[in-house]
């Protein structure tokens, strides 16, 4: 131990990057070390949970022995030990495990030296303020994390052996992941069951002076031509619209009887305000990054983690839309300085949380320094995400955008046509977000005025089934149902992709045959666990544990009492589910008797003989992508990365190494 390290204060965080950033703000009195994530957890090779009293066996990760030795060594000479892991349940648990290690070392640390500090942003001011407010570890938060960890371990390690017997060897199940798979499987069933229907819309081109504009038929004989139908889905409702014109002949017949002159029956003009959205929560950030940039939740959270650790944004795992008074004040001053007083909303704008089971323990995600709208030292992805966060947060205190909406109704025979226009009067917060708005200006028109009709036509449409889930819509559904927490959305999707229960096709999720078979078995035998109300109820119970209103061991005992019976019943009485295989239409070249089928293995799809294990013929599966390689002209194929993400390549690889994310 060097002399200058003796009797320093020891601050412990999870991330080396975070440690380096914080180290810049603290003086020579502090030594900052990182645990590099969890250092003590349940072992992977056994259940490690006593079902009688739910005592848990924790072990130190073998890969973290060096980190633990460094922490123990540094703690021996520290005059104060501050546990500064992330400000959530996971972070609280990491601090608790670190404290246990230090108190159970060969030469234990005096527990009076150990305390907990939390901060939601890594800035000099926030850290200095946090250091003044050290506290004891919050065991309610720790117990909520333990409860979730043990619950997921018990469900996963209990279901997996049954899946091995009843579906396929090597499968695993998770409490929340299995519900996500069910959502995707149910959506696929709903899509397959949906009956498409053709319908026609009718439009007319009108002219006044030299200006042409379009009007749409909306009523015939006083009745709306469009009707909206609703379908009840597994996780909500789906609405779709169709018109009363079902055939081309119906539409053409109506158009044929239209008169050349349209009479204006009503002119409606009104000003409308468009308000900015609240600052990002974790789920909304993932949804926005998915829609705007095509990012996965995992990618978004990885970039956000870097921004947080560099001190550029506040803590990125949050379900709160709250902003501090200090941040609001800074945003308002910045807007006034850069855009003028008229761009500041007169009264401070506050938002209410609409997410189910929202904790609101943290702030929404925002920049730590409003005067920095862009970053210079980050990579391209960091810049994109930061700018998106900055604009959304700062815009919350900007004035509303004011628009003038014009609606004009025309009559022609027994029909009513409608034409809509919009004009921006004041761009307000849109000046900050940079969102584009195209004016649609109609000519000056008055009631009872007659307008010339130039031509009319019909447009054929089709009712579409509900779309498959994307990263954005799946996260939205999980949040809406109260399933999972901000920190779990990205890992849920990554896990079920990695386990090959689902696959991503052009940004949308669809279940694999393995996912459908596994889901079928679990729903049939464990309907309660895979139901949305039950999963949301467990989240509520864990929230009560975090508030000290529920005992996590009692929660587990109540759960296990029912679950154990379902396990025994499923193991002894349930039928085996067959995983369907897709035939290629080719005979096996090795045994000559079998047919070649597409199977799903550990590393993705492959082709084998349906007489396996009698015939062990296999070959690589190449999915035809429907294009020619732009470099050599060979057939293009679909490939996958190690994480399951699809990309396009050449069938002649490795001779030709052309590859791309988009189909050419």
Q: Which of 97, 114, 137 represents a domain boundary (last residue)? A: 137
Position 644 scores a pLDDT of: 59
- The length of the chain is 664
- Whether the predicted pLDDT of 354 surpasses 90: no
In this predicted model, what pLDDT tens digit does every residue of 414-471 receive, in sequence order?
A: 999 999 999 999 999 999 999 988 889 999 999 999 999 999 999 999 999 999 999 9
339 within some domain: yes
Q: What is the CATH number of the domain that holds 308?
A: 1.10.290.10
32 within some domain: yes
471 within some domain: no
In this predicted model, what pLDDT tens digit does every residue of 228-262 receive, in sequence order?
A: 999 999 999 999 999 999 999 999 999 999 999 99
> Do both 250 and 185 map to the same domain?
no
> Do both 120 and 175 map to the same domain?
no
Position 355 scores a pLDDT of: 58
In this predicted model, what pLDDT tens digit does every residue of 470-482 receive, in sequence order?
A: 999 999 999 999 8
In sequence order, the 6+-apart residues with CB closer than 8 A to the CB of 264 are 408, 409, 410, 445, 446, 447, 448, 449, 450, 451
609 within some domain: yes
pLDDT band with cut points at 50, 70 and 90 for residue 360 = very low
pLDDT band with cut points at 50, 70 and 90 for residue 364 = very high
- Sheet with 80-83, edge to edge strand ranges: 30-34, 9-13, 80-83, 114-116
Q: What is the mean pLDDT of residues 134-140?
A: 97
Inter-helix orientation angle 489-498/471-481, to 10°: 120
Identify the residue with better confidence: 484 or 203. 203
Q: State how many domains the chain has.
A: 5
Position 356 scores a pLDDT of: 54
3-state SS assignment for residue 33:
strand
Q: What is the mean pLDDT of residues 350-359?
A: 68
> Do both 161 and 221 map to the same domain?
no
> Percent helix, strand, coil in the chain (nearest 5)?
35, 25, 40
472 within some domain: no
Say how far apart CA 102 and CA 115 lie, in whole Å.
12
Q: What is the mean pLDDT of residues 199-219?
A: 95
427 within some domain: no
388 C-beta neighbours (distance < 10 Å), count: 19
Range of the domain at 30: 3-137
Q: What is the mean pLDDT of residues 265-290?
A: 96
- Whether the predicted pLDDT of 4 surpasses 50: no
> Do both 494 and 518 map to the same domain?
yes
pLDDT band with cut points at 50, 70 and 90 for residue 1 = very low
In sequence order, the 6+-apart residues with CB closer than 8 A to the CB of 182 are 234, 519, 522, 523, 530
pLDDT band with cut points at 50, 70 and 90 for residue 3 = very low
The region of weakest confidence among 129-133, 371-375, 533-537, 657-661 is 657-661
Say how far apart CA 153 and CA 301 lie, in whole Å.
24
> Do both 131 and 10 map to the same domain?
yes
Q: What is the CATH number of the domain that holds 127?
A: 3.40.50.140
> Do both 178 and 206 map to the same domain?
no
Q: How far apart are the first and last CA of the chain?
A: 60
Q: What is the mean pLDDT of residues 337-363?
A: 81
Position 273 scores a pLDDT of: 96
Residue (of 405, 393, 240, 423) closest to 331 by Cα position = 393
371 within some domain: yes
> Do both 566 and 481 map to the same domain?
yes
Position 586 scores a pLDDT of: 84
Q: What is the CATH number of the domain that holds 182?
A: 1.10.460.10
- Whether the predicted pLDDT of 299 surpasses 70: yes
Percent of the chain with pLDDT over 70: 96
> Do both 11 and 72 map to the same domain?
yes
3-state SS assignment for residue 28:
coil
Q: What is the mean pLDDT of residues 525-548?
A: 93
- Whether the predicted pLDDT of 624 surpasses 90: no
> Do both 496 and 539 map to the same domain?
yes
> Do both 129 and 176 map to the same domain?
no
> Do both 21 and 108 map to the same domain?
yes
Token pair listed for 335 = 């807007």
Active-site annotation holder among 308, 315, 343, 501: 315
Q: Which of 117, 137, 157 represents a domain boundary (last residue)? A: 137
Token pair listed for 522 = 């679990």
Q: What is the mean pLDDT of residues 134-156?
A: 96
**Could you tell me if 86 and 34 are in contact, meaning their C-beta atoms sit under 8 angstroms apart?**
no
Q: Which of 548, 573, 598 represents a domain boundary (last residue)? A: 573
Q: What is the mean pLDDT of residues 360-366?
A: 79
Query: Residue 315 catalytic?
Result: yes
64 within some domain: yes
Q: What is the mean pLDDT of the chain?
A: 91
Q: H-helix or E-strand containing 478?
A: helix 471-481
- Whether the predicted pLDDT of 312 surpasses 70: yes
In this predicted model, what pLDDT tens digit does every residue of 68-124 receive, in sequence order?
A: 999 999 999 999 999 999 999 999 999 999 999 999 999 999 999 999 999 999 999
> Do both 547 and 643 map to the same domain?
no
619 C-beta neighbours (distance < 10 Å), count: 12
The pTM for the full model equals 0.85
């Amino acid at each position: 131990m060097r002399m200058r390290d003796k009797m320093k204060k020891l601050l412990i965080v999870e991330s080396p990057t975070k440690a380096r950033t914080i180290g810049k703000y603290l003086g020579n009195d502090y030594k900052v070390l990182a645990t590099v994530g969890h250092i003590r957890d349940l072992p992977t090779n056994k259940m490690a949970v006593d079902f009688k009293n739910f005592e848990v066996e924790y072990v130190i990760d073998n890969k973290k022995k060096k980190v633990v030795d460094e922490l123990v060594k540094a703690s021996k000479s520290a005059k104060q030990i501050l546990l500064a892991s992330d400000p959530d349940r996971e972070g609280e648990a990491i601090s608790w495990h670190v404290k246990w290690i230090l108190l159970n070392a060969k030469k234990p640390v005096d527990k009076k030296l150990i305390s907990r500090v939390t901060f939601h942003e890594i800035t000099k001011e926030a850290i200095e303020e946090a250091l003044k407010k050290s506290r004891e570890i919050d065991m309610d938060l720790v117990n909520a994390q333990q409860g979730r960890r043990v619950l997921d371990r018990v469900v996963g390690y209990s279901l997996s052996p049954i899946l091995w017997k009843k579906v396929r060897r090597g499968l695993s199940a998770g409490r929340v992941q299995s519900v996500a798979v069910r959502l995707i499987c149910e959506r696929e069933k709903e899509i397959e069951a949906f009956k498409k229907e053709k319908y026609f819309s009718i439009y007319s081109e009108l002219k006044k002076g030299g200006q042409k504009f379009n009007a749409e038929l909306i009523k015939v004989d006083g009745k709306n031509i469009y009707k909206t139908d609703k379908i009840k889905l597994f996780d909500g409702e789906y609405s779709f619209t169709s018109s009363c014109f079902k055939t081309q002949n119906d539409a053409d017949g109506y158009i044929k009887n239209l008169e050349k002159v349209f009479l204006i029956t009503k002119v409606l003009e009104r000003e409308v305000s468009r308000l900015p959205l609240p600052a990002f929560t974790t789920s909304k950030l993932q949804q926005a990054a998915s829609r705007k940039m095509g990012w996965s939740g995992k990618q978004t959270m990885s970039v956000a983690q870097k921004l947080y650790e560099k001190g550029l944004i506040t803590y990125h795992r949050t379900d709160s839309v709250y902003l501090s008074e200090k941040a609001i004040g800074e945003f308002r001053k910045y807007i006034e300085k850069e855009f003028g007083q008229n761009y500041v909303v007169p009264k401070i704008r506050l938002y209410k949380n609409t997410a189910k089971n929202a904790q609101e323990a943290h702030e929404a995600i925002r920049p730590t320094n409003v005067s920095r709208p862009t970053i210079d030292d980050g990579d391209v992805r960091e810049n994109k995400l930061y700018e998106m966060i900055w604009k959304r947060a700062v815009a919350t205190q900007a004035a509303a955008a004011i628009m003038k909406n014009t609606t004009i109704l025309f009559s022609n025979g027994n029909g009513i046509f409608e034409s809509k226009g919009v004009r921006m009067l004041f761009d307000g917060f849109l000046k900050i977000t940079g969102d584009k708005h195209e004016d649609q200006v109609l000519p000056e028109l008055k009631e009872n005025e007659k307008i010339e009709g130039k031509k009319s036509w019909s447009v054929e449409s089709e009712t579409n089934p509900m779309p498959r889930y994307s990263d954005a819509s799946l996260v939205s559904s999980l949040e809406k149902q109260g399933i999972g927490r901000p920190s779990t959305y990205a890992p849920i999707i990554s896990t079920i992709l990695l386990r090959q229960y689902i696959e991503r096709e052009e940004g949308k999720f669809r279940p694999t045959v393995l996912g459908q078979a596994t889901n079928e078995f679990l729903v049939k035998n464990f309907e309660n666990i895979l139901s949305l109300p039950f999963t949301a109820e467990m989240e509520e119970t864990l929230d009560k544990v975090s508030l000290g209103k529920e005992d996590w061991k009692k929660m587990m005992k109540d759960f296990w009492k029912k679950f154990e019976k379902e396990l025994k019943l499923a193991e002894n009485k349930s039928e085996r589910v067959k995983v369907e295989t897709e035939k290629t239409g080719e005979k096996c070249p090795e045994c000559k008797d079998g047919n070649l089928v597409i199977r799903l293995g550990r590393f993705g799809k492959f082709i084998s003989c349906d007489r396996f294990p009698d015939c062990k013929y296999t070959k690589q599966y190449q999915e035809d992508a429907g294009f020619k390689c732009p470099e050599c002209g060979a057939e293009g194929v679909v490939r996958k990365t190690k994480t399951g993400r699809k990309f396009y390549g050449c069938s002649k690889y490795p001779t030709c190494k052309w590859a791309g994310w988009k189909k050419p």
